[in-house]
Each structure stands twice: as C-alpha cells, then as structure tokens.
Amino acid sequence: MPAADRVHYRARPFRAAVRIRNFAAKAVLSPTVLLMLVCFYGCALWTAYLSVTRSALLPNYQFAGLLQYVRLFATPRWNVAWSNMFLFGVLDILGTLGLGVLLAVLIDRQVRFEGAFRTIFLYPLSISFIVTGLTWQWVLSPTIGFQNFVRGLGWRDFVFDWITRPDRAIYTLVFAGVWHQSGLIMAIMLAGLRGIDREIWRATRIEAIPPWRVYLSIVLPMLRPLLVTCIVLIAIAVVKSYDLVVAMTGGGPGYASDLPGKFVVDFAFERANIGQASAAAAVMLGSVLTVLAPYLYLELSRRDR
Amino acid sequence: MSAVAAPARIGRLGLYAFLAATAIFFAIPLLVVISTSLKSLNEISDFSIFVPPSSPDLAAWWKAWHAACTGLNCGGVHVGFWNSVRILIPSVTLSVLAGALNGYALSLWRVPGANLILLALLLGAFIPYQVILYPLVKITSTIGIYSSLPGIIAVHILFSLPVMTLLFRNFYSGLPDELVKAARVDGAGFWRIFVSVMLPLSINILIVATILQTTGIWNDYLLGLIFAGRENQPMTVQLNAIATTSTGEIEYNVNMAAALLTALPPLFVYFVSGRFFVRGITAGAVKG
Amino acid sequence: MSGVVVRGLTKSYGPVHALRAIDMVVEPGDFAVLLGPSGCGKSTLLNAIAGLDDIGAGSVEIGGVDVTPREPSERGIAMVFQSYALYPTMTVRRNLSFGLRVRSVPKTEIERRVAWVSELLQIGGLLDRKPSQLSGGQRQRVAIGRALVQQAKVFLLDEPLSNLDAKLRAEMRVELKRLHQSLAATIIYVTHDQIEAMTLATRIAVMRDGRIEQYATPDVLYERPATLFVAGFVGSSGMNFLPGSLGRASMPVARIEADAIPLDGYPFRAPFADGGKVIFGIRPEHVSFADHERGGPIIEAETLFIEPMGADTLGWFQYGSQRISARLSPQCARGLSGKVRLALDIGQVSLFDPTTEQRL
C-alpha cells in the first residue's frame, strides 16, 4: 500500500475512536442526569405546583394561589409540628455540636484507649433511627424506664415522664438525636483537629498559652468552615426527620411531638390530603434551601478564592 | 524527662473521667435493651429495665424471630430479615456500581456541563424524601413497579445516586489523570480503562461505599414502608409494627429482642469495618 | 542577654541516635548557627534546647539556670518556625499581642512593645491584616516580630528563610544581621544553607549524624576545617581532595601522583608516620597559574573544561588520575587548553587522615 494511503487509513479509526470514548462517558451519565432531572427536580416542581392547586383527596390541577398555605398555617397540628422543628432543631444542633466538639477535643489531647472510645461513640451511627427511637422510648418510659429505676432505688416521688407529657415530649427527641449523631460530629471535628499544623501548637507552648485557650481562640476558629458544615448537616437531618419521631413518640401524645417530616407523610397517605401534604412538603423544601443556599454560596466563593 | 506537674495530672484524670462517663451514657441504651431481652416478662414489670436479668434466657429472642405479631400476622421478624436481605443485595451492588461509573465518567473524561451536573447532584443529595414522595408514588405506579421488590430497589438506587456519584467522583479526582492519558495512548477505551486500571485502584473506596450503602439501606424505614409492598416489608418496618401494636400486654422482652435482631447486621458491619466505616460517614457527610 | 550551655545532650528515636552527647556553649550575644545536611540532628537539638521534645540524657542551661525540667514557656526563649506558625484567624496585631495578653501583661506595655516591633521590622502598615493577606516575606517578619515581642533571653530560629525565594532570602539575611547587631540578642539558628551560616554566624556548629563535627567561627571553619566533612560542606565551590601519602625527606612532603609536594610550615597536630596515607585538601581559590608568580610548589595538569560563574571562572584540570579545580579570572580562562602549570598555596592546605577523617 502506498505510504500516503497508509497514513490516511490509520488516522481515520483513531479519530472515530476518540469520539467513541467520550460518547461512552456521556452515555453512562445520561441515565443519571435524566433521573435527576425527572425524579428529583421534576418531581419537586410537581409537588410545588400541587401546593398551589385545589388538590384535596385527589390531585386537582386548578390553580388556587396560596390557598393551601393559608389553610396549612391555620391547622393547629401543622403549627405544632412547625414550631417543634425549630425547638428540636436548635437543641439538637447545640447538643450534638457541643458534645461532639468536646469529645473531639478531649480525644485530640492524646488519650490512651482512643480506639475503644471512638468505637463506643460511633456505634450509634450504625443503628437505624427506628431502633434508636424505640430504644430511647423504652429508656425514658415512666413505667419501665428511668423513672421506674430511680423510684426503685428509693426516691419514691421521682418523676421523669416527659415522654408522656404533651408539653415536654418533643424534648425527649433531643436525647435520642444527640446520642445518635454526636459521634459523627466527633469524627468530622477530630479529622479537622488532626489537620492543624503542629507548629502552631508548638508556638503556643512557647508563648505559655494554656490548651483550652488554644482551642477556643485559635484552633476552633480555624475550623469554622467545618463547624458550619456540621451545623448544616444536623439542621437538614432535623428537617427530614421521620423515622425517629415515628418510633419514639409516634408524634404524640396526640400530635404534641409531631414534626413536618411526619406531617407530610401522614397527610399524603393516611389523611389523603394531597394539597396540604404538598404545601407542607414545599415548606420543608424551602427550609432546606434556606439553610443550604448561604452555605453553598460561602463554600463556592471560598473555593474560587 | 519532662515531669508532669500535679495540676496537669488532675486535669488528665478529669479528662478520662468525662470520657468514661460519656462512654457509659452511650453504652447504656444498648446494654439495657440487651439485658431486658434476656428477661422474663414478670421481671420487667417488677423492676426497671436498668436492673440486670436474674436468670438470662433466649426465649424472647426465639419468639421475636419466629412468632412476633404485627397485627394479624404472627410470623416473627425472620420474614422481615429475609425481605431486607433481598432488598439489600441488588440495591447495594447496583447503586455502588452506578456511583463508581458516574464518578469515573465525571472526573476523568471531558463531559459538557460537568460542573453543573455536580451542583445538581449536590443539591439533590439534600432534598428530603418527603418533597418528592407523592410524585414518585405516581410515577412508580404508572410504570407498574409501585409496591413491589423491583420498585423499592429502583427507589433506593435513585436516592443513592447523588451521594455515591459524589463519593466516587471525589476519589477519582484525587488520582493523577496521567493514568488515563497513558492508558489512552496505549489504545484502551472507556470501559477497558475502568475495568483494568480504575477498579483495581478503587478497592478502598468500594469498601467504604458498600458499607455506607449497606448501613443506609438496611436501616431505611420510610422508603420501605411506602414502596416495598406488604410481602416485601423490610425488617425495620416490621419491627416498628411489632413494637407499636398496643393490643394486650406489651411484651417488652420480645420487642427488644426484635430491635436487637434488626440492629445486628449493621452493627456487625460496623465492628468489623472500623476505619472504613468512619471514612464512609465522614465522606458521605462532607459531600462535594 | 543570656548564654546557653548544653551538656551531654542525648536523644534517640528507638534505634536511631538523633543526638549523641552534644556539648555546646553559646556565649551571650552570640549568633550561633547549627549547620548540616538533613537528618544531622540540628532541628532536634534546637527543639531540645527549646524544651519542645523530651531528651534521653543531658542538661540545658539558659542564663546560668538549669532549665532541663522546665516547660518551653518557662525557659525564657522565643522561637521562629520554618512555616512561621502564625495564627490564621487573627490579625497581625492580635498575633503579636495574644501571648502577652494570656500572660496578663498590662495593656500599655503590650501596646508599647507592639509599636516598637512594628517600627523595627517595618510592619506597622500590616497590623490590621490577616496572615493570608500577607506575602511570604511579610509573614516572616511578623513571625520574627512575635518572637521579639516576648522579650526573651534567647531566640531560636528553625530554618526561617527556607520558604522564601532566593532574592528575598538575600534581603532577609541582611535584615537578620542588622537585627542581631542592634538588639545584641543571643540567637541560635538552624539552616542547611552554608552561605546563610557563613554570613550570619559568629560561630557555627557543623553537625552530622547527631554529632558536632566542629564548632568555630566562620573563618576558622573555612581556613582550618577539623574534619573532611566540614572541609567539603563549607565553602561554595568544593575543596579539592587529592589522595596520596606522607613522606619525610629533608622536610615533610606529600606524595601525590608523581609529585612530592613540600609541606614546609604545615602545622601538624601530631607526629605522622612516614608512608602514612593522607588526603590533601586545597580550595580552588588557592590554586592558580604558575606564571602569576604566586610561588609555592608547581604541578602539571591537562585542561578538561571551564565552568563560567560570572565574576569568577572555575577551571577543571586532569592531574594524573585526579581532577583538580582552580579559580581563575575570566580573562585567563578564555581560550584555555592543553597542558598548564598550576601553583599551590601551601599555607592554605588542609591535610586529613583518610580513615579517621580528622585533620592532621
């Protein structure tokens, strides 16, 4: 074969091959992209649209403005669930973060048996929220749990029946939440603490700065982005909460410990009110975006810098 | 040779004391549940669950496995166990594989709009299930997979896509892209590079992803409740049904045994996997 | 101003001996440099003096006080780290004052010291910036400022210039020398760069494998190196090392290649054995063309190649089975080829025992 033809013949398959390779990558990603568009974003828009229609038992695509939202916020049960979310959220974040950071700091002080401590603090994360909720329901139960135990020790008048009291039930969720999630915060913050330049620690030793002051004034401020990440994670978990409420209090007594996550599912399936459920779900989405938007904006602008 | 001063030693002791106390706080719920599951019903009503059993036996465990009742059915949680297994295995393998392929394609190949896709995935990872639950029910019932095994598997894979893709994408981005270039010069294509070059390097991240998925899918409740169908209800759903039936006397020991049986598989994975588990939860948490 | 006395300092990491019974005296006002290749123990020694690491045996005295059992903050030292270790979330002003505030130094005193340091190091305009907004050189000056503000007795610096580019490093060398003179401070400084050591130090400790090979002024180190290692490490263009043997004729001679080079006037430390092996060391600047009437013994060599280095040129010659280098002016070096006659300045020669590597 003449030399010129040989070169031409070899070049063509190569160019075709380049196109094929990139095509494979796009082909692999297409189903995911499609599913994301349809199932995540499309469905979210669908729900958002349902929330501004006249839907009740069945979907009714007649536009109705903010009717569902007005009705929603006039519903006592929703208002309880909504305010519960903030109560539970703030306490859960403070408790989880507080304990998690404290544990991380203590372990960072080079303790022995670090492996054993970490194993104990992290195992709740492997347990489902259903088991967590049930376990804490039993532990805080006045009949068989903590109150009973303390009374059995002699304090006949000891009372700890929060889980059965409408005004206190929501706070019991905080125990379970902190127990379950502190380990995660500890693991994340410990990784961050270990990444701190050791020479900074040595500089503080020479300047006679006590360790607690170093954590407070130097190290933890350096880890501010990580702390914000932790807050965002817990906050979003609180918004999504369903399993924990169902197992621990069932939303009760009555609906005293209800949360938006449970409200949406109950109204979509048991109560069969699509309009109200969609409005509530849209509010949930709005909450998540409110927490997420500033965080993502900060993160992305930090990366660009 | 540096001496530790007395105040420092007391501080050290206080540190260990606090850690030990916290460890007890973490361990007690599990210990309490274990100990109660080994008691007889009389013992539970006489004393609180914080007291250890006088003569431990596994009767409650047997009953939980074989004969616990959810409403009318009294088949025990072993039904739920096998359902969960049948849901778990396809869901985990397919979602991990999908994540690996997606992450590989996104990080090492030129794809138009890759950054946009990543942002969309990141946002998608945070969307609560409840926001798209009803529309998904509509879609799956239209396709005909609502309330079935394929249905729940599909839904699990769907919800795993964002986190798994991001996890693998971050991992593959950390690899030098000279690897891919060298392989391409050698004539290897997309699939060949994935199988022969990438997969062997991915053992660690595959383990992490598998652990993350196994724990997440086994512990799932809401999706299983809605999409699995009555014959395929996972163990968590069955457990909750058993524990919240309020007919007659509550058999706490059986309920607790059932809870432990449900918690055992992921707990076992946790104790066995150690460092990989930690990597999994921190990587799954710090997405993107 | 305080001195530092180190006695018998020993430290091991398992089987590795990082420091072997180090003895060293730093007089008040000295600028002592610990010089050596990586792994020689210089940073370990500095950390031991600072009290940042435990030691196996030995003692450290600062200002006449035994500080061995004391924490770093109680030794009266201040330290500048290689990575500067500035507190990233604090402004420069807070970086400088934080340690003082923790020690409850009165506010007016803190302000006075910060002002003094800002003036001295020209960082006044940077006081309200954060470290991430500063250049490398600026961060370095802030790190030095933080050390000065503590008004310590002894300043320890761990390779502070190694993260700077060459030009900045040269500028900072001048700064440091000026600071040392104006503050009359006692400084112990670690570096692997022998130029830094030679320009800054009053005395240099050349270290290798956990031992101090020689501790002397730069001049002595350069002209009368105590060991083969010191001779080769110090000095920009390496010393020529020619193996041979010693002989005794009417005077001591070194038999190198085919020549017998007279060693008239060489200050031997001890009597040597006739025929004993020797390494003859001479720096390129002490080798020149015989025609230039420098005097001294003359050898014949064959031109190999020329290395132009700007102001000077290094010429390489084949001398028997050896290579020898000579520093030449560019004019002489131009067009050089073939056989040449080189004169050796015997007054600047160093002789070493090949086995002990010690100076003879």
Interval B38-96: pLDDT, tens = 887 777 766 667 777 777 788 888 888 888 877 667 888 888 999 999 999 999 999 99
Interface of B with A in 89-118 (CB under 8 A): 98, 101-102, 105-106, 109-112, 117
> Does residue A265 belong to the interface with chain B, where contact is any CB pair within 8 Å?
yes
Taking the CA of residue A133 and the nearest CA in chain B, the distance in Å comes to 10
pLDDT-derived band at B2, boundaries 50, 70, 90: very low
> Does residue A224 belong to the interface with chain C, where contact is any CB pair within 8 Å?
yes
pTM of the full predicted structure?
0.85
Q: Which residues of A touch B262 (CB under 8 A)?
A: 128, 130-131
Q: Which residues of B touch C57 (CB under 8 A)?
A: 1
Find where tokens 């970490």 sit.
Answer: A118
A176: number of CA atoms within 13 Å, CB side? 30
Q: CATH code for B78-285?
A: 1.10.3720.10
> Does residue C133 belong to the interface with chain A, where contact is any CB pair within 8 Å?
no
Cβ atoms of residues A121 and A101 within 8 Å: no
Q: Give chain C as a 3 state SS string.
A: CCCEEEEEEEEEECCEEEEEEEEEEECCCCEEEEECCCCCCHHHHHHHHHCCCCCCEEEEEECCEECCCCCHHHCCEEEECCCCCCCCCCCHHHHHHHHHHHCCCCHHHHHHHHHHHHHHHCCHHHCCCCHHHCCHHHHHHHHHHHHHHCCCCEEEEECCCCCCCHHHHHHHHHHHHHHHHHHCCEEEEEECCHHHHHHHCCEEEEEECCEEEEEECHHHHHHCCCEHHHHHHCCCCCCEEEEEEEEECCCEEEEECCEEEECCCCCCCCCCCCCCEEEEEECHHHEEEHHHCCCCCEEEEEEEEEEEECCEEEEEEEECCEEEEEEECHHHHCCCCCEEEEEECHHHCEEECCCCCEEC
Could you tell me the CATH number of the domain that includes residue A123?
Answer: 1.10.3720.10
Tens of pLDDT along chain C (360 residues) come to 789 999 999 999 888 888 998 999 999 999 999 999 988 999 999 999 999 988 889 999 998 899 999 989 899 999 999 989 999 999 999 999 999 999 899 999 999 999 999 998 989 899 999 999 999 889 999 999 999 998 888 999 999 998 888 888 888 899 899 999 888 889 999 999 988 999 999 999 999 999 999 999 999 999 889 999 999 898 887 889 988 888 887 778 888 887 888 887 788 887 777 788 888 898 998 888 877 665 678 888 888 888 888 778 888 888 888 888 888 887 777 777 888 888 888 888 888 888 888 888
> Does residue A28 belong to the interface with chain C, where contact is any CB pair within 8 Å?
no
State which amino acid sits at residue B242: I
Q: Which of C50, C83, C88 sits opposite A206 (nearest CB)?
A: C50
The domain locations on chain B are 6-57, 78-285
Question: Is the CB of A208 less than 8 angstroms away from the CB of C82?
Answer: no
pLDDT-derived band at A7, boundaries 50, 70, 90: very low
A210 part of a folded domain: yes
Q: What is the mean pLDDT of residues A155-161?
A: 82
Question: Is the CB of C103 less than 8 angstroms away from the CB of A197?
Answer: no
Taking the CA of residue C228 and the nearest CA in chain B, the distance in Å comes to 35
Residue A253, preceding peptide bond in cis (omega within 30° of 0): yes
Question: Is the CB of B267 less than 8 angstroms away from the CB of A126?
Answer: yes
Question: Is the CB of B2 less than 8 angstroms away from the CB of C69?
Answer: yes
> Does residue A64 belong to the interface with chain C, where contact is any CB pair within 8 Å?
no
DSSP string, chain B: -PPPPHHHHHHHHHHHHHHHHHHHHHHHHHHHHHHHHTS-HHHHHHS-TTSPPSS--SHHHHHHHHH--BTTB---THHHHHHHHHHHHHHHHHHHHHHHHHHHHHHHS--TTHHHHHHHHHHHHHS-HHHHHHHHHHHHHHHT-TTSHHHHHHHHHHHHHHHHHHHHHHHHHTS-THHHHHHHHTT--HHHHIIIIIHHHTHHHHHHHHHHHHHHHHT--HHHHHHS-GGG--HHHHHHHHHT--SSS--HHHHHHHHHHHHHHHHHHHHHHTHHHHHHHHHHHS--
CA C149, C155, C159, C165 torsion-angle sign = positive
| Residue A81, domain extent | 75-304
Question: Is the CB of C81 less than 8 angstroms away from the CB of A199?
Answer: yes
- The domains found in chain C, sorted by start residue, are 4-227 (3.40.50.300), 240-352 (2.40.50.140)
Question: Is the CB of C150 less than 8 angstroms away from the CB of A207?
Answer: yes
If one counts the domains in chain A, the total is: 1
Q: What is the mean pLDDT of residues A229-250?
A: 91
Interface of A with B in 171-200 (CB under 8 A): 179, 183-184, 187-188, 191
pLDDT at A10 over 70: no
The arrangement of strands across the sheet holding C4-13 comes to C16-26, C4-13, C57-62, C65-66
Question: Is the CB of B1 less than 8 angstroms away from the CB of C51?
Answer: no
Question: CB neighbours of A217 closer than 8 A, spacing ≥ 6?
Answer: A209, C87, C90, C98
> What is the complex's ipTM, to 2 decimals?
0.88
Closest residue in chain A to residue C155, using alpha carbons only? A206
> Does residue A127 belong to the interface with chain B, where contact is any CB pair within 8 Å?
yes
Closest residue in chain C to residue A197, using alpha carbons only? C85
A99 part of a folded domain: yes
DSSP letter assigned to residue A216: I
